Amino acid sequence: MIQGNACFHVTCKICSETVTTSPSLSEVPELKTFLQRKLSDSDTLAKTAYHLYQLRKNQWKKIEELKKIQLRRLKAIVTYAYYHVPYYRKILRSARIKPEQVKNIDDLRKIPITTKSDLQANHPNMISNGVDVKKCTINTTSGSTGTPLQVIADSKARHYSIALLQYAFFECGLRLRDKLVSVEVRIKTGKSMLRPPIGVGFLGRTRLSWMNTLEENIRLLKKIRPDALYIYPSVLLQLAREIRKENPAEINPRLIFSHGETLTPRCIQLANSTFDTRIHDLYGCAEFNRLAFQCDRQSGLHMITDGAVIEIIKDGENVDYGEPGEIVVTGLYNYAMPLIRYRIGDIGITTDESCDCGRSWPLIKRIEGRSSDFLVLPSGQALSPMNLLNAMDPKYVKGVMQYQIIQESKGSFLVKVVVNQEFNSEQVLSIQKRMQLRCYGEDVRVDVQAVNEIEKDKTGKARIIVSKIARPRI
Ligand SMILES: [Zn+2]
């Protein structure tokens, strides 16, 4: 039965009132909205289920077959980008490359690399011609490298992204009825936007805001008793440390999925000694969603070749197995904003070893180069860098091209910003307010300084968070 105002006799099988009129959908906005939402949910579930089925089937195929699928998709997206994306048409032409010259995966190397700065500087020209952005999903990221970005994704890419995440969850042992809690650096605590059929617990995952106090989150976790947690390693560290002081048995997830930061041995060790659990690292980024996952054999991270081509390069050349290099990704699904040979800013090492699990997806041995160092607040409380990165979300702070947050003392921060014409005094106030909020309301001073460029450190990287005081021991 449809509830409340939307209980119109035309569709209500329980109500015994006589139907005297049959209003059209346009005259019944509540009913229209309700049906549209249900149709949209069914559509999302059906398309996600299709991709999920394909992923689960393809993982057992021979590596040669996987390479053929990957090459077919690569050729298709390069051709599409050449004819429909002004940015790629320009760079392919300037490199004197035509799409038909990409005949194998190695040919991809002929295409110049695109950086985060390129994406930012050429944003409108990187959207495919004719795309209605209003019908797309916009993924924003404050950027772990300090370059705020917006990536436009079409509905197919969105469905594929949802399927990728669900695929990784399933393969790591999540069951349909499991209660999944996602601990995020968000303001609102609540249920997932996806409304699953009754009984499918994990699809309706509960989101917990890390901006709640620790006590509040622990109270909520005790109430929910999650079977699985989806969480940043730095947040997991704080949570595990606090739970150890209480009664760990009350919160004991069977599975933990870490994402967004490097999963350190210290984090694994603390989580394993706090919970009776198994941790799986899910690697990805806002631009491409999930790219690789760790199965229960934990021999590395399986690269999902159906959705992306992952290259490891150094000085423009592909490196050998076992050698560290920059991770460069070509997405194979998003036609609204194709990203070809996109440097995501992480360092990784691949291996030619295969995994005992039997899945054919090749392996990343290790992800390196991302820092999840904590800061310390005046009260002594540790602060996850994710809190500060979230304060600079481009949805709320406009006109910032790049930034760096420097902790001068426990109670003072300096935010250096490289800005464009959209930036004004309101944005300064927004940064100060959002930073203070994310420092748990503690008395901290936040100064904002516009600069021409962010200085790079000795390694040539512009570090996003710099602390001039001793880091806390987590
Ligand atoms: Zn495996």
Find the 171 Cα to ligand 1 centroid distance in Å: 9
Residue with structure tokens 């994710």? 386
Neighbours of ion ligand 1 (CB under 5 A): 295, 297, 355, 357, 359
Q: Are 385 and 373 in contact (CB under 8 A)?
A: yes
Q: What was the pLDDT predicted at 402?
A: 77
Beta-strand relationship, 255-258 and 278-285 = parallel
Do the domains 137-367 and 375-467 sit in the same CATH topology, yes or no? no
Q: Are 205 and 182 in contact (CB under 8 A)?
A: yes
Residues 416-459 have pLDDT tens digits of 998 888 899 999 999 999 999 888 888 999 999 999 988 866 54
When mean pLDDT is compared over 8-12, 36-40, 395-399, the highest value belongs to 395-399
For 137-367, CATH number out of 3.40.50.12780, 3.90.226.10, 3.20.20.140, 3.50.50.60 equals 3.40.50.12780
Find the 472 Cα to ligand 1 centroid distance in Å: 35
For 375-467, CATH number out of 3.40.367.20, 3.40.50.150, 3.30.300.30, 2.40.160.20 equals 3.30.300.30
How far lies 351's CA from each of 7, 65, 326, 361, in Å? 59, 19, 15, 12
Find the 4 Cα to ligand 1 centroid distance in Å: 49
Q: What was the pLDDT predicted at 31?
A: 64
Q: How far apart are CA 396 and CA 139, in angstroms?
A: 13
Find the 426 Cα to ligand 1 centroid distance in Å: 50
Residues 278-304 have pLDDT tens digits of 899 999 988 998 999 999 998 999 999
What are the CB-based long-range contacts (under 8 Å, 24+) for 212-221? 213/440, 214/238, 214/239, 214/242, 217/183, 218/242, 218/243, 218/246, 218/251, 220/189, 221/181, 221/251
Helix (H, G, I), strand (E, B) or coil at 426: helix
Domain ranges of the chain: 8-44, 137-367, 375-467
Q: How far apart are CA 45 and CA 163, in angstroms?
A: 9
Q: How far apart are CA 161 and CA 52, in angstroms?
A: 10
Find the 216 Cα to ligand 1 centroid distance in Å: 37
Q: Which phi and psi (to 5°) does residue 79 adopt?
A: -60, -45
Find the 59 Cα to ligand 1 centroid distance in Å: 10
Find the 362 Cα to ligand 1 centroid distance in Å: 9
Among the residue ranges 92-96, 211-215, 298-302, 470-474, the one predicted with the least confidence is 470-474
Q: Which carries the bigger pLDDT value, residue 443 or residue 184? A: 443
Find the 184 Cα to ligand 1 centroid distance in Å: 27
Handedness of CA 238, 385, 461, 314 (dihedral sign): positive
Find the 306 Cα to ligand 1 centroid distance in Å: 16
User: How many CB atoms lie under 10 A from the CB of residue 467?
Assistant: 20
| Confidence at 145, pLDDT banded by 50, 70, 90 | low
Q: How far apart are CA 280 and CA 180, in angstroms?
A: 14
Q: How far apart are CA 312 and CA 136, in angstroms?
A: 30
Q: Are 382 and 376 in contact (CB under 8 A)?
A: yes
Q: Are 114 and 328 in contact (CB under 8 A)?
A: no
Degrees, nearest 5: CA angle 404-405-411 = 165
Find the 326 Cα to ligand 1 centroid distance in Å: 23
Q: What was the pLDDT predicted at 268?
A: 84
Residues 259-279 have pLDDT tens digits of 887 776 667 878 888 898 989
Find the 57 Cα to ligand 1 centroid distance in Å: 15
Residues 378-398 have pLDDT tens digits of 988 878 777 787 788 877 888
Q: What was the pLDDT predicted at 385?
A: 73
Find the 101 Cα to ligand 1 centroid distance in Å: 34
